[in-house]
């Protein structure tokens, strides 16, 4: 599926089953070259850029000017940076903005930002006038390796993360890894953890690659970052193509997320999503080891790579375990009141048993895993 042309990587997502849909992903390292892939030949009644206040200055205004010079009727809305913008009030404010700007069904939304902007703008696109097209233009490593692809969109409510949302596939994904140059180092780690997650469940070779090249990746080496993005996307595209609506295999992409989402909630979203998933991986890998599925050696390898990223289990001692466990009860994988977890079998392989990709785990085991993590 992948072709290498100069410095660009091209991928294609093909969803044959329920949503006959096909869209390209372009991964490059030059903003203007990337912009040349925008569907300019297609006339949109309006191009609506959704971004955040920081990115508006960095890249949003350049994109707006580019579109206007290309003859498009383009406008831009920005929201405050951060997870708190993924809420009902911001969503409603943006919907009002689209109505007031006279956006019709022929418009296109351009989601220029990280996971927060992508999820919010994607949900806006999926629901405005019962659905308009949108382009994902991820600016964070987390959005590049994960959230910009696969069509998951949504917003948070006080009860939990992404509890309102839908699957709405983008028209196109345009990824420019050079944009990562302005990303704070913590956000590079944040995104890399989502890539490591995908490698842990499905790609041991890429896990070894990250271990070997970690310093270069964290120093922002563009070629290495492009490689990380391409490797993570190759896995993710395969999973999404086979199970767009998360009836089975796609749930594997939630490894580390059950505890991760709970940590985001109990920390009032002060812990970044990928970092929370990293701590979630530490706890959920321990669950697999306690259940006798994962070996101690593999657990130690996971602890070691997270430690190199600055994540240590004792960080978790500041949160009340019962509050964390209570927060997992709002996870979307709960069935008949029982929280279901992805269980890691080995480095690069998740447990799949009787066609089941997630498995019920008792609160006692989660509590033991959490406590062992704090003491590790
Ligand atoms: N971020 C997990 C998924 O797209 O399914």
- The residue to mutate among 123, 198, 236, 333, having the most atoms of ligand 1 within 8 angstroms of its beta carbon, is 236
- The residue to mutate among 15, 140, 143, 152, having the most atoms of ligand 1 within 8 angstroms of its beta carbon, is 152
Q: Give the distance (Å) from ligand 1 centre to CA of residue 146.
A: 7
Q: What is the DSSP letter of 252?
A: G
Non-local (6+) Cβ contacts of 250 within 8 A are 150, 239, 240, 242, 243, 244
Which residue reads 């580019």 in tokens? 66
Question: In this predicted structure, what is the pLDDT of residue 160?
Answer: 86
pLDDT band of residue 333 (cuts 50, 70, 90) is confident
What tokens were used for 43?
A: 């006339």
- Helix/strand number for the chain, H first, E second: 14, 14
Q: Does residue 313's CB lie within 6 angstroms of at least one atom of ligand 1?
A: no
223-273 pLDDT per residue, tens: 999 999 999 999 999 999 999 999 999 999 999 999 999 999 999 999 999
Question: In this predicted structure, what is the pLDDT of residue 40?
Answer: 59
51-68 pLDDT per residue, tens: 999 999 999 999 999 889
Distance of alpha carbon 258 from alpha carbon 344, whole angstroms: 13
Distance of alpha carbon 282 from alpha carbon 312, whole angstroms: 9
Distance of alpha carbon 115 from alpha carbon 95, whole angstroms: 19
| pTM for the model | 0.93
Atom of ligand 1 nearest to the CA of 146: 1
CB atoms within 10 A of CB 104: 11
Nearest CA to ligand 1 atom 2: 253
Residue 186, class by beta-carbon neighbours within 10 Å (0-12 exposed, 13-18 middle, 19+ buried)? exposed
Atom of ligand 1 nearest to the CA of 152: 4
pLDDT over 90 (residue 348):
yes
Mean pLDDT of 126-155: 96
Q: Give the distance (Å) from ligand 1 centre to CA of residue 77.
A: 26
Nearest to 83 by CA among 317, 307, 260: 260
pLDDT over 50 (residue 81):
yes
Nearest to 192 by CA among 255, 119, 142, 259: 142
Catalytic residue ranges: 130, 152, 194, 236, 246, 250, 254, 257, 261, 273
Question: In this predicted structure, what is the pLDDT of residue 79?
Answer: 98
Q: Is 41 helix (H, G, I), strand (E, B) or coil?
A: coil
pLDDT band of residue 94 (cuts 50, 70, 90) is very high
Q: Taking every pair of C-alpha atoms in the chain, what is the biggest distance, in angstroms?
A: 61
Mean pLDDT of 273-281: 98
More confident residue, 106 or 333: 106
Half-sphere exposure of 276 (CA within 13 A, CB side): 22
More confident residue, 322 or 10: 322
pLDDT over 50 (residue 286):
yes
pLDDT band of residue 307 (cuts 50, 70, 90) is very high
Q: Does residue 253's CB lie within 6 angstroms of at least one atom of ligand 1?
A: yes
Atom of ligand 1 nearest to the CA of 239: 5
149-193 pLDDT per residue, tens: 999 999 999 988 899 999 999 999 999 999 999 899 999 999 999
Q: Does residue 286's CB lie within 6 angstroms of at least one atom of ligand 1?
A: no
Share of the chain above pLDDT 70, in %: 96
**H or E element that contains 101:** none
More confident residue, 8 or 27: 27
């Amino acid at each position: 599926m992948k072709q290498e042309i100069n410095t660009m990587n091209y991928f294609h997502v093909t969803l044959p089953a329920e949503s006959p849909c096909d869209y390209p992903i372009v991964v490059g390292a030059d903003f203007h070259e990337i912009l040349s892939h925008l569907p300019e030949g297609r006339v949109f009644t309006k191009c609506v850029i959704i971004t955040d206040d920081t990115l508006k200055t960095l890249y949003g205004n350049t994109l707006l000017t580019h579109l206007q010079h290309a003859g498009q009727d383009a406008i831009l809305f920005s929201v405050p940076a951060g997870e708190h913008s993924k809420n009902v009030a911001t969503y409603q404010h943006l919907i009002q903005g689209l109505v007031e700007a006279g956006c019709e069904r022929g418009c296109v939304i351009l989601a220029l930002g990280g996971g927060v902007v992508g999820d919010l703008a994607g949900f806006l696109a999926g629901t405005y006038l019962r659905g308009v097209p949108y382009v994902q233009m991820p600016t964070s490593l987390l959005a590049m390796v994960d959230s910009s692809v696969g069509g998951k969109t949504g917003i948070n409510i006080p009860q939990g993360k992404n509890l309102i949302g839908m699957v709405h596939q983008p028209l196109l994904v345009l990824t420019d890894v050079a944009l990562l140059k302005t990303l704070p180092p913590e956000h590079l780690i944040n995104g890399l953890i989502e890539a490591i997650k995908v490698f842990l469940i499905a790609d041991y070779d890429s896990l070894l690659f990250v271990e070997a090249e970690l310093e270069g990746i964290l120093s922002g080496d563009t070629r290495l970052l492009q490689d990380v993005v391409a490797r993570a996307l190759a896995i993710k595209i395969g999973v999404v193509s086979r199970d767009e609506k998360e009836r089975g295999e796609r749930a594997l992409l939630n490894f580390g997320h059950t505890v991760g989402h709970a940590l985001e909630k109990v920390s009032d979203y002060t812990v970044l999503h990928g970092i929370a998933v990293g701590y979630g991986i530490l706890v959920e890998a321990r669950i697999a080891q306690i259940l006798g599925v994962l070996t101690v050696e593999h657990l130690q390898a996971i602890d070691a790579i997270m430690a190199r990223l600055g994540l240590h289990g004792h960080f978790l001692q500041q949160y009340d375990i019962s509050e964390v466990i209570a927060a997992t009860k709002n996870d979307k994988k709960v069935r008949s009141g029982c929280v279901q977890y992805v269980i890691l079998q080995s480095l690069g392989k998740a447990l799949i048993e009787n066609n089941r990709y997630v498995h019920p785990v008792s609160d006692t085991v989660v509590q033991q895993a959490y406590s062992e993590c704090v003491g590790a």
